[in-house]
Amino acid sequence: VEFLYCDLASMKSIRQFVQQFRAKNCPLHVLVNNAGVMLVPERKTEDGFEEHFGLNYLGHFLLTNLLLDTLKQSGTHSHNARIITVSSATHYVGKLHLNDLQSRCSYSPHGAYAQSKLALVLFTYQLQHLLTANGSHVTANVVDPGVVNTELYKHVFWVVKVVKWMTAWLFFKTPEEGASTTIYAAVSPEMEGAGGCYLYNEERTKSADVAYDEELQRRLWTESCKMVGISDEASRLP
């Protein structure tokens, strides 16, 4: 195991990480997009993005796009490279505000978090569409890990923290249990060649209806390219 530092809240850090990784000339068979924050107070990343949207979504969007060439070179007809993005059931109540992706008009920690998780689902579906259109041996799927007992809940109201402390053993998954669907998506033979799926408890299920809006997927993709400073056309190259 070798560690390379990457701060998903920093576009500069992401680009430096990709440069370091590429310099190793290693294949890339599995990319898991799993970093995230939840219900943080209103604040910005060093690039000026609202933190939920900047870290949870844009960081993964840029990282994935910068690694696409390596993923495409690593995948084969019989063993596709795999991209797994971790979203949340919260995306079901999320709304994507294309005219206010930074939540500047009215900030709500819950709304911003849900929007970032919906964006990840829309991104995954559009990414799979582009990969299929290019004939790439890469698949993209999105995972809902369930309610997992981690430090992600440190910004919730204190009453919720108390309830979590009292009931976690009964209602929350352990981190190992929470990782099971991600691992399934990454290595299971059953998922070979399968892309554009929303997975929960190692099963394909239906995401929010709005996530299947192809026009919304395309518009978010185009806007995201502008925000992180990459070419929309370059990201579509086979």
Chain centre to alpha carbon of residue 124: 8
pTM of the model: 0.87
**pLDDT tens for residues 171-220?**
565 767 768 899 999 999 999 999 999 999 999 999 999 999 999 999 99
Region 120-130: what's the mean pLDDT?
A: 98
Q: Is 113 a catalytic residue?
A: yes
**Domain residue ranges in the chain:** 11-236
- Exactly one of 57, 113, 184, 198 is catalytic; name it: 113
What average pLDDT is seen over the chain? 88
Region 99-115: what's the mean pLDDT?
A: 90
At which residue do the structure tokens 């809240």 appear? 9
Residue 148 phi, psi dihedral angles, 5° rounding:
-115, 140
**pLDDT tens for residues 5-20?**
999 999 999 999 999 9
Q: How far is CA 172 from CA 125, 145, 147, 162, 197, in A?
A: 28, 11, 5, 14, 24
What is the fold, at CATH topology level, of the domain defined by 11-236? Rossmann fold (3.40.50)
